[in-house]
């Protein structure tokens, strides 16, 4: 394993795998457990969005997670370029981004003021980390199997007894469609016409998915906060950047 790790760290400095502070698909909880002091940090794969990355750090005596925004530029047909950023400068690769924030002691975001300075280095090759993270929680699997066996056998039990035995267990969704209400939907909301759906599909195919998602998230938040009266009237600067919630 030591030899395999050494070979990874010998890769090009632009390769994310060559940096010991990159921990691959390390889970959020496992990443937090490695942090001890303000300034500690590592980079890991996003658990919710493939090909995206998250900076996990310790600041103000608490763990914080920042999604590294990936911007895809397509200046001409058949060519694309990926850039990475937090709130301001964009870089061609994540190592260059991290070097700027560590060397310049720049805050990851103005709101948090978090500064990274101490990399948490991995001691195992990425292959082993992937294998470890792929192993399911045996206790959780066993609990699920026991519950389903009881359901299949037709046994009746209360939620209280289940909670006392296995912890909090949700047997059915609490979402009620007939009572659903949202500030993001107008009172006369109804399904779109097929022709409109086709236009939207073409629009989404032509646009960068990340940029579209960031724009929609920003508008949704403004509507929810009451700073915008209608979700379909854009007033966002095309050059503005919005931080996504990291997972």
Domain total in the chain: 2
Task: Give yes or no: residues 89 and 199 share one domain.
Answer: no
What is the overall mean pLDDT for the chain? 76
- Whether 193 has a pLDDT exceeding 50, the answer reads yes
Judge whether 187 lies within some domain.
no
Q: Rounded to an integer, what distance in angstroms lies between the CA atom of residue 64 and that of residue 238?
A: 28
Compute the residue count for the chain: 247
- Whether 159 has a pLDDT exceeding 80, the answer reads no
pLDDT at residue 195, rounded to an integer: 78
Q: Do 84 and 101 meet the contact criterion of CB atoms below 8 Å apart?
A: no
Q: Which residue has the higher pLDDT, 166 or 33?
A: 33
- Using DSSP, state whether 43 is helix, strand or coil: strand
Residue 200 structural domain? 194-225
- Whether 213 has a pLDDT exceeding 60, the answer reads yes
Judge whether 1 lies within some domain.
yes
- Whether 220 has a pLDDT exceeding 50, the answer reads yes
Judge whether 49 lies within some domain.
yes
CB-count exposure of residue 132 (10 Å: 0-12, 13-18, 19+): middle
**Using CA of residue 209, residue 215, residue 217, residue 223, what is the dihedral sign?**
negative
Instruction: Point out the domain boundary residue: 134, 152, 178.
Output: 134
pLDDT at residue 95, rounded to an integer: 96
164 confidence band (pLDDT: 50, 70, 90): very low
pLDDT at residue 161, rounded to an integer: 44
pLDDT at residue 183, rounded to an integer: 63
Judge whether 164 lies within some domain.
no
Task: Give yes or no: residues 23 and 105 share one domain.
Answer: yes
User: Which among 79-88, 132-141, 146-155 has the top mean pLDDT?
Assistant: 79-88
Task: Give yes or no: residues 20 and 122 share one domain.
Answer: yes
- Whether 240 has a pLDDT exceeding 50, the answer reads no
Q: Rounded to an integer, what distance in angstroms lies between the CA atom of residue 81 and that of residue 40?
A: 30
How would DSSP label each residue in 208-247?
Answer: -HHHHHHHHHHHHHHHHHTS-S-TTS----TT---PPBP-
Judge whether 147 lies within some domain.
no
Task: Give yes or no: residues 82 and 14 share one domain.
Answer: yes
Judge whether 84 lies within some domain.
yes
CATH label of the domain that carries residue 31? 3.30.505.10
Task: Give yes or no: residues 213 and 121 share one domain.
Answer: no
Q: Rounded to an integer, what distance in angstroms lies between the CA atom of residue 128 and that of residue 247?
A: 22
For residue 69, list its beta bridge partners: 85
Judge whether 239 lies within some domain.
no
């Amino acid at each position: 394993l030591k030899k395999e790790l050494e070979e990874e760290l010998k890769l090009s400095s632009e390769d994310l795998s060559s940096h010991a502070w990159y921990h691959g698909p390390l889970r959020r909880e496992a990443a937090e457990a490695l942090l001890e002091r303000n300034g500690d940090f590592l980079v890991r794969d996003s658990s919710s969005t493939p090909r995206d990355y998250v900076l996990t750090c310790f600041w103000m005596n608490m763990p914080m997670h920042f999604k590294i925004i990936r911007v895809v530029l397509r200046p001409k047909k058949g060519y694309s370029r990926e850039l990475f950023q937090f709130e301001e400068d964009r870089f061609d690769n994540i190592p260059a981004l991290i070097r700027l924030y560590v060397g310049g002691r720049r805050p990851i975001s103005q709101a948090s003021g978090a500064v990274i300075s101490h990399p948490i280095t991995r001691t195992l090759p990425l292959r082993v980390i992937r294998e470890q993270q792929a192993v399911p929680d045996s206790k959780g699997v066993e609990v699920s199997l026991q519950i389903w066996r009881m359901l299949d056998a037709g046994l009746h039990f209360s939620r209280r007894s289940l909670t006392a035995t296995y912890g909090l267990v949700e047997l059915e969704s609490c979402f009620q469609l007939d009572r659903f209400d949202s500030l993001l939907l107008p009172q006369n909301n109804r399904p779109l016409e097929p022709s409109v759906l086709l236009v939207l599909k073409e629009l989404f195919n032509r646009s960068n998915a990340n940029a579209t998602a960031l724009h929609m998230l920003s508008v949704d938040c403004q509507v929810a906060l009451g700073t915008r009266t209608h979700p379909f009237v854009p007033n966002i600067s095309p050059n503005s950047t919005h931080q996504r919630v990291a997972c």
